[in-house]
Chains A and B, each alone.
Chain A
Amino acid sequence: MTNRERREALEFYLGISPWLIGLVCFTGGPILASLAISFTQWRLLSPPKWLGIQNYIDMFQDEGTRVSLGNTLFYTGLSVPLGLVTSLFVALLLNQRARGSTLFRTLFYLPTITSGVAMALLWLWLLNPEFGLINLALGLIGIKGPAWLQDPDWAKPALVLMSLWTIGTSMVIFLAGLQGMPQHLYDAAKIDGANQLREFWHVTVPMLTPTIFFVMVTSIIASFQTFTNVYVMTEGGPGWSTLMYGLYLYNNAFEYLRMGFASAMAWGLFLVILALTILQLLGARRWVYYEGGIRGRI
């Protein structure tokens, strides 16, 4: 290694050191600490006691964990596909060269940067069964709206509906993907006589699969960690129908003083997300197309 290369390497490590130190000390440290805490009973106000794997065993027997995981899976199962389709649809619309499209892009993105608490309070009003705008709109077409957040059967679908409010980030990613589409593929499709639907299905979708895959993975991770909306809007009710995993974890840590159990829950969540991500990576070999890459390798 020459002196210049050595100096450049030094500059490189100095440059990234603030982030690296932050990662090791303020993220890596607590991550490892939480693993150690998950093997203890720690009520925060008194020293931790070693429990071994008892917290992990308790997790499987705990009704709250079971219910909250079920609720979270339901929420993820509905909100992620719906969010993907909606954000792709909106991105396709906003990808048109029409007047005012920049304004609409901004408008669709705005809810994403709105405070989560403010958004939750706004949706409490929108979803109000008696006077909310959603039931008012349903009433106009002759449908009697449900009690939404006051009804255990409709509370989770209400949260799914609300999740569509924040499709801005996915929409921007899809928009970037769409704008990077090579024009010559569309030209070739046109020469072959493809209509717009066929262009979309045989050119846009395959070329967009890496973006769809990325948005899907990050959306699943985010939806498993959903917290603010249920913390502010429902506190997990009515009757635990919106008790999400993240809220139950928080309650265990800071309300019930079961920090060891909460840490075990956090690691449980990590393992669930890791398993799902690995499954998605394996599945991606079958449907994600990387231009210039070898099919089946990602």
Chain B
Amino acid sequence: MKTLSRRHFLQLSGMGAAGVALAACAVPVPATDGMAAMEPVHLQANIAFTQADYGLQYQTIEKWRDLFEDTHEGITVELAFVDWSEHHNKMLVLAAANELPDFIEVQASRSLLWIIEGVFLDIDGYAAADPGFDMDDFFEGVMGYYRWDGKTFALPYDHGPINLGFNKTLFEERGIATPTDDWTFDDLRAAAVAFAQEEDTWGFSGMPRSWLLEPSYLTPWGASLFNEDETECTIDSEEAIAALQWWVDLRFVDEAIPNSAQSEVLATAGGDFVSGKVAMTTVAPWTAPTWNALADFEWDVAAWPAGPVTRSTAGLGSGYGITKDTEHPEAAWEWLAWMTSAEGLAFVWAASGASTPPRKSVFDVYFSAPGIAPNSQAFLDAMDNYMQIGRPVSPYGAEFTAIRNREMDLINNGLKPVAEAVADMKNDGDPILAKNRELYGS
């Protein structure tokens, strides 16, 4: 990575929004390894953004790009911003047409699929040859999404774990002890049931679902969704049935979780929690700006409770990778390293509080960002200690999700007994997952 002069950095920082710029100024400039001079190179980079979540984040990325071009003579980067909701499909179409740009964004849950299908360049060699780039600074729990077969193919730029968000005002009003970082699910149930005694108030919102299912809802009970290489569904175990039944009971026996129709009515742009009638729910770092803007009560975050067996929760985020057919791998590496360096992550993401960083060294910048969750330390603790990958991540995992969603829908709506639903999930899901064996050669 090339040197960025402090003058350049401050000039550009001054152009940004005050909050972002102030935080960014505190960040040291990237180290240099004295990259050899290159022929003029023009890179194409595709970046996804969500206006609702990140405001004018893309302007910050453009500034960071300008700074890159100022400090990397001969390399220009053309940024193409794609709306988050369309990004995956657009990349698929570009891939199908052999028109992928040099550098693309990828969501963690789909990254292994793209890696196994051979879209990305192995970057370990470039990282090893770049002494200014600290690979060990990334949280190990995050890198699982971007490594395959012992090699690294992409790098994260944001990553957030799921924790327990709670309405502090409601807890204090009812005189119920607020959640702490050593809570278990028994504590959660006791509090949730206490809240449910009053009409029009719910103890918790959310049921086992999507990519949270395994790490946040099954692993704490010692259960799993798949075997290690996702060639077999293992949700029919006694532990998994006990875990899912626990949540079904909390909803239908204790009536502490609103049903879908009730949630729909409570829901606002910030979800049903913002209504002020729900005591606890799941929270991710990227939820904080919305809740801060919409909630008219005090809220806070605690660690996701521990289950009978362990404490575990899901984490998800996004990353960037270099496409394998790029004609400019060296320049693309420079850009990737620039975007995922501690300085880049601080400038673009952490300083604005948009998302928790995947690098340990950047958390100090995140902690001083405006609008982050009150107890953001809980996110750092999760990333450091008990955050797991949300599966499926395998190539045929997406096909399995159709079966998973079908059965979880029925479980969560009380329309099918848990044991019957998980048996059907396994029966219908295993033939799909078995196709992964061809890819793994097992």
Contacts and interface: CB of A to CB of B under 8 A. Distances in A.
Interface of A: 42-46, 63-64, 124-125, 128-131, 147, 150-152, 235-240, 251, 254-259
Contact of A254 (B92, B117, B410): B92
A255 B410 contact: no
B407 interface: yes
Contacts of B96: 42, 44-45, 259
A254 B85 CA distance: 13
Interface string B396-424: 00110110011101100101100000000
Contacts of B442: none
Contacts of A150: 259-261, 413
B51 to A, nearest CB: 17
Instruction: Give the 4 A-B residue pairs with the shortest CB-CB distance, closest first.
Output: A45-B117, A256-B399, A237-B409, A239-B410
A74 B402 CA distance: 21
A239 B413 CA distance: 10
A240 to B, nearest CB: 5
Given A44-B92, A254-B89, A130 B119 contact: no
A42 B95 CA distance: 12
A3 B262 CA distance: 75
Contacts of A44: 92-93, 95-96
B428 A63 contact: yes
Contacts of A240: 406
B264 interface: yes
B265 interface: yes
Contacts of B406: 236-237, 239-240
Given A43-B117, A238-B410, A258-B399, A152 B415 contact: yes
Which has the most chain B C-beta neighbours within 10 Å: A46, A63, A124, A239? A239
Nearest to A46: B117
A130 B114 contact: no
Interface string B192-207: 0000000000000000
A151 B117 CA distance: 39
B118 interface: yes
Given A64-B402, A130-B261, 15 more contacts: A44-B96, A45-B113, A45-B119, A124-B264, A125-B264, A131-B265, A150-B413, A237-B405, A238-B409, A239-B410, A254-B88, A256-B398, A256-B402, A257-B398, A258-B399
Contacts of A43: 117, 395
19 contacts: A44-B96, A45-B113, A46-B118, A128-B265, A129-B261, A150-B259, A150-B261, A152-B410, A152-B415, A237-B405, A239-B406, A239-B409, A239-B416, A254-B88, A254-B92, A255-B398, A255-B401, A257-B395, A259-B96
A13 B95 CA distance: 37
Contacts, number: 73
Interface string B236-279: 00000000000000000000000111101100000000000000
Given A240-B406, A254-B92, A45 B413 contact: no
What is the predominant secondary structure among interface residues of chain A facing chain B?
loop
Given A150-B259, A150-B260, A45 B399 contact: no
Interface residues of B, number: 31
A45 B265 contact: no
Contacts of B407: 239
A45 B262 contact: no
A45 B114 contact: yes
A130 B399 contact: no
B265 A130 contact: yes
Contacts of B117: 43, 45-46
Interface in B358-409: 395, 398-399, 401-402, 405-407, 409
Contacts of B119: 45
Nearest to A63: B428
B326 to A, nearest CB: 16
A128 B264 contact: yes
A144 to B, nearest CB: 14
B128 to A, nearest CB: 27
Nearest to A152: B415
Nearest to A153: B415
B402 A251 contact: yes
A280 B192 CA distance: 58
A129 B405 CA distance: 22
Nearest to B424: A239
Nearest to B265: A131
Contacts of B398: 255-257
Nearest to A43: B117
Interface in B90-142: 92-93, 95-96, 113-114, 117-119
A121 to B, nearest CB: 10
A131 B265 CA distance: 7
Nearest to B89: A254
A186 to B, nearest CB: 50
A242 B92 CA distance: 26
Contacts of B416: 239
A64 B405 CA distance: 13
Most buried by B among A125, A147, A236, A238: A238
